[in-house]
Chain A
């Protein structure tokens, strides 16, 4: 399973953090610091995977944002790249041509979309249409003013 997912900018600003296991705030801060440093210092054409402690780190850059996650040893790295890509597609579908600013100003939406896609570090729904449908249903609920 995926242990965590971090989104950070090229300047190292954290934009989203999702933890799938219980960690202390101190540990979280350390992981964020270590990984942003490590990933940002890698050359552009380097491999998207690297071993770190007992985890496999998989990351990929989309425009100005880095998507980076920590995997357990059994997890499939290539498939995780697909998870990251599918998440970007979902964000894109929701915001329309998503950019970093959308995620800054609508951070709560980025979390909601992620919850529809991944729970407890495992993929729950891979169909773009199904995820879009659940989000749409929820959106339609909120339009109802009582």
Chain B
């Protein structure tokens, strides 16, 4: 037991502490404590009045017992008695007990407040400070009620001692934080600001914390503090290391005050006054310069204090985000720290750089450190540093380095700490989606994610890949092929089976031509995983099987046998059993047509905010990578989520529920509630309603189903981008036609001979209903006689988050060049919305492919040799010249792609006949890519000159 060197030691207390420390077991300790508690209780209850010293000693013992973790239910009164002692140490112990064991007993609070009041008015600075510390330590509402009026007065009174001012400032801050309503602004507030000029550095240091907090809440009222803070900072920064005497810490002048000043300035925008601003920039430059000077001491305290100021200055520079020169200097400084031998500095540099990465001025400068950061991710020994490196890579990612960063993060995932895997997975998924230029890379990345870290791939991630594959027909074949290959692995993660089941069920037909992935092979592969999977996955697989029956009639008997087996049809899980029974019945009684309708390909998902992003937002606390920044980047550059980020959680739940079809309770196939059924207008079900609505409830609908008329006068002119939108759909029939903040229009269409049917899906992206929703389809000018377009009426009301469907029937009467116009009007929150688009009906939609041999092709080619029959264009490639992509587009065009016809295998030739009611127009196409020059020559010949010309125009935009 060490001798207590100072003050009046309490011998009894020391003995007791020593006894406790000597206890060999927890039981012995409890026994000793109980003995002491009994002793203290008897002393407190005894007849003999205790002197102050004994009271202090016993209260202190109780405090010790409490701090050991035991409950204390008496002694409060004795502690309160100590408060009114005139001996400092007794009072001090009393206050400590109250601060630690505050009790909301109202009787005691009144007594405590009385004692505090006495001390506050005692004019003894030591007692006043004790009382103020106690108020700050307890910080309860009762205390605020009692003292919030008094403390500001003490703070600004002229005769208050400096030490009391310091305590009063911070005590008031504490009360303001707990009960801001009780601290009333008043005359004192303007005087508080002037404490920044106080001669006593300690007073400034304490007062500035209060001023910063008040400024955050009432910036206008405290504006004057900016210039005061700048001049104070400037005086400190330019002072020599010894000027400030005791406020110099390891050769750094007033580091605490400097940091607090820089923090206060971060409550405000850059100073408007040029002189003040100039002075501040000078300070910041001096701080950056000092970082390059040799250290004045080798002690870590010196570098800590110096760098604390530097980091705070960098925070201010980032906060202003307006001085490119300073931002780049800050970035270079942080770059130096990235390689520093102190782990702490590397950690902080990575953290600060994350915020720098989102500034347009310094984003490029941050990117130059990519190799160092990747290296940190690989080699740092401390997980919290690696985590920061991963955050920074995420923040610095853009189109130019996405592939590299995603690859590095993927390889890091293989060895990443379990604690951060899920977040890493989300980040990789988001980056892959955000910067996907070709979606095969995206699909590869996500499947790799599932392979490497399947357990950490949350539902949002694999829902999302499915949403994207469904919405983008250019990647469906690739996705089917890749997932098929991934499933070959002997052990693959259940999430892979889910994705595989869904994708093959929808798009297995795209790879079924290859005997290595014939329908039966696909089915057997999926079914080999079945018994290893959980119930929800099995349910999903059963749905994939019924889709197979529709896609590949040859698998019907095999699959029916599986469904019929006892393990399915008598499965103890009711969901699985029900699916097996229903699917078996459906496959045996429904005609092929019915089956095809029921199991139609899933319509595109409404494109909303990525549910993954929402999930990451939830996971990340404040101060992490700014998700807002991300979203902005996405709006500018994102290919997938063009817009629609403003309604966080709400959106994502809808997106998730849309995507959550594979869950056992939801219906995967749209049998009951699939989008096409739920969104169907009344005409789908009830004839009565249909007739009724056509009879005039919906005027526009009625009108538009009449022969096409001119565009109604008050329709908005077509959007400037409508031609572009039109071009998107030349080679495909499904997708998202249009999207803005409010509305999304999805499209799905099919054509046969000279007839077409188009389904438009109008999705309300807001939470407010759209009223008087009307659409008009019209054929301007000549088109009236070329195209017959009939739009079924659409429901006039779209609830928030809901989708309605409209069916449009199209008949091609003669060849045409223009596109029909779609005008949409509705009211959203009272404001009339009016927009017009071009419906993507183009002449090539009415192509019938014609297969022919080489000989026939050239014979016909020659027959169509009149100059006006040919149209030709030479143009620069605007997409990668990938053979498979070109083939897919030509097929999407609707012509037959003829193999082995052109003597040059690099060239593509196609043939088809356009079906109009009036006539048939035979057309031939030849596309000659020149990979070296990145150019194409496109030639079209048809029996009608207008058709050649139009097709050539349309196609030249596609490659």
With contacts A105-B17, A134-B126 taken as known, whether A54 is within 8 angstroms of B256 at the C-beta atoms is no
Q: Is A50 an interface residue (CB 8 A)?
A: yes
Q: Is A62 an interface residue (CB 8 A)?
A: no
| Bound CA span A41–B295, Å | 33
Closest to B13 in A: A105
| Bound CA span A48–B64, Å | 30
Q: Is B939 an interface residue (CB 8 A)?
A: no
Instruction: Report the interface size class on chain B.
Output: 35 or more
| Bound CA span A73–B206, Å | 20
Q: Is the CB of A48 within 8 A of B247?
A: no
A133 to chain B, nearest CB (A): 9
Q: Is B255 an interface residue (CB 8 A)?
A: yes
| Bound CA span A50–B343, Å | 12
Q: Is A106 an interface residue (CB 8 A)?
A: yes
| Bound CA span A24–B940, Å | 80
| Bound CA span A142–B89, Å | 6
Among candidates B171, B246, B255, B348, residue contacting A82 with C-beta atoms closer than 8 Å:
B255
- Residues from chain A with a CB closer than 8 A to the CB of B256 are 79, 82-83, 123, 126
Q: Is B14 an interface residue (CB 8 A)?
A: yes
A122 to chain B, nearest CB (A): 4
- Residues from chain B with a CB closer than 8 A to the CB of A48 are 343-344
Interface centre among A54, A76, A77, A138 (most CB of B within 10 A): A76
Complex interface bits, B144-187 against A, C-beta within 8 A gives 1, otherwise 0: 00000000000000000001001101110110011000000000
- Residues from chain B with a CB closer than 8 A to the CB of A42 are 382
| Bound CA span A129–B528, Å | 78
Among candidates B129, B173, B346, residue contacting A120 with C-beta atoms closer than 8 Å:
B173
Instruction: Report the interface size class on chain A.
Output: 35 or more
- Residues from chain B with a CB closer than 8 A to the CB of A137 are 126
| Bound CA span A60–B867, Å | 86
Closest to A127 in B: B246
Q: Is the CB of B63 within 8 A of A85?
A: no
Complex interface bits, B366-391 against A, C-beta within 8 A gives 1, otherwise 0: 00000000000000011011010000
Interface centre among A14, A48, A78 (most CB of B within 10 A): A78
Q: Is A11 an interface residue (CB 8 A)?
A: no
- Residues from chain A with a CB closer than 8 A to the CB of B513 are none
What's the count of A-B pairs with C-beta under 8 Å? 179
| Bound CA span A90–B120, Å | 26
B60 to chain A, nearest CB (A): 6
Q: Is the CB of A126 within 8 A of B202?
A: yes
Q: Which of B307-315, B531-539, B584-592, B630-638 binds A?
A: B307-315
Among candidates A22, A78, A96, A142, residue contacting B311 with C-beta atoms closer than 8 Å:
A78
Q: Is the CB of A81 within 8 A of B304?
A: yes
Q: Is the CB of B259 within 8 A of A76?
A: yes
Q: Is the CB of A78 within 8 A of B308?
A: yes
Q: Is A31 an interface residue (CB 8 A)?
A: no
Q: Is the CB of B136 within 8 A of A96?
A: no
Q: Is the CB of B7 within 8 A of A142?
A: yes
- Residues from chain A with a CB closer than 8 A to the CB of B174 are 20, 119-120
Closest to B202 in A: A125
A59 to chain B, nearest CB (A): 11
Q: Is the CB of B246 within 8 A of A105?
A: no
- Residues from chain B with a CB closer than 8 A to the CB of A46 are 343, 381-382, 384
Q: List 25 A-B contacts (CB under 8 A).
A: A1-B209, A45-B343, A46-B384, A74-B263, A78-B308, A78-B311, A79-B259, A82-B308, A104-B21, A105-B2, A105-B17, A108-B93, A108-B96, A111-B96, A120-B137, A124-B167, A124-B202, A124-B206, A125-B163, A125-B202, A134-B126, A138-B88, A139-B7, A142-B88, A146-B87
- Which 4 residue pairs across A and B have the least CB separation, nearest first? A120-B174, A78-B308, A119-B170, A141-B88
Residues of B at the A interface (CB closer than 8 Å) are 1-2, 4-8, 14, 17-18, 21, 60, 63-64, 67, 69, 86-89, 92-93, 96, 126, 129, 132-133, 136-137, 139-140, 163, 166-167, 169-171, 173-174, 177-178, 201-202, 205-206, 209, 246-247, 249, 254-257, 259, 263, 301, 304-305, 307-308, 311-312, 343-344, 346-348, 381-382, 384-385, 387, 621-623
